[in-house]
Amino acid sequence: MIATRPAQLFDAAAMAALLNPIIETGGTTALTQSVDAKFIRDWMTKAPARSAWTVAESEGDIVGFQLIAPWDQIPDDACDIGTYVAQDRSGMGIGSALFEATKKAASKLGYKWINAHIRADNESGLPYYQSRGFRDWKYVEGYQLDDGQIVDKVWKRFDL
């Protein structure tokens, strides 16, 4: 069974442990360097107002997390989303459970829509967002990651 709840600072180590294999594998996130609990705690505490972080748990283990936050490249009535699910738990309903909680948080924070900017080569992220009802609204060519790699980005929109 998957349960969701707001993420807490004490979740940071488990969230970093989940995220690092995703970063190491590459191809699905703009993050290019491994992270630690301090990085996650800083990310959470320095997040702008109108941000929300949600974790998914199964049998006491964090198996995914999702965040929304305002972003200066989209209108004020929109938030940007990031989704991370343990690589060995894909297809188990974690992303669905997270998105249900995130939609509620976004509405409560006053957002009208959610933006997802996804690497164009992300073979799991693109269908994940599409299956939740996101639709393409922008394509960005030549986005440079922190490590210098150049990728294209697909921006998808979900109206609340």
* Closest to 44 (Cα-Cα) out of 20, 10, 78: 10
Residue written as tokens 């979900």? 158
Q: With contact defined as beta carbons under 8 Å apart, do 50 and 74 qualify?
A: no
pLDDT tens-digit map of 3-20: 999 999 999 999 999 999
Spatial separation of the C-alpha atoms in residues 17 and 104, rounded to whole Å:
26
Tell me the average pLDDT across 71-84.
Answer: 96
Per-residue exposure over 61-99, b if at least 16 CB sit within 10 Å of its own CB, e if not: ebbbbbbbbbeeebeeebbbbbbbbbeebeebebbebbb
Tell me the average pLDDT across 102-129.
Answer: 94
Q: What is the mean pLDDT of the chain?
A: 93
Domains in the chain, CATH or no CATH each: 3-159 (3.40.630.30)
Name the least confident of 26-35, 69-78, 98-107: 26-35
pLDDT tens-digit map of 30-58: 676 899 999 999 999 999 999 999 999 99
| Residue type (1 letter), 112 | K
Tell whether pTM > 0.95.
no
Helical segments of 2-124, H only: 12-25, 37-45, 94-108
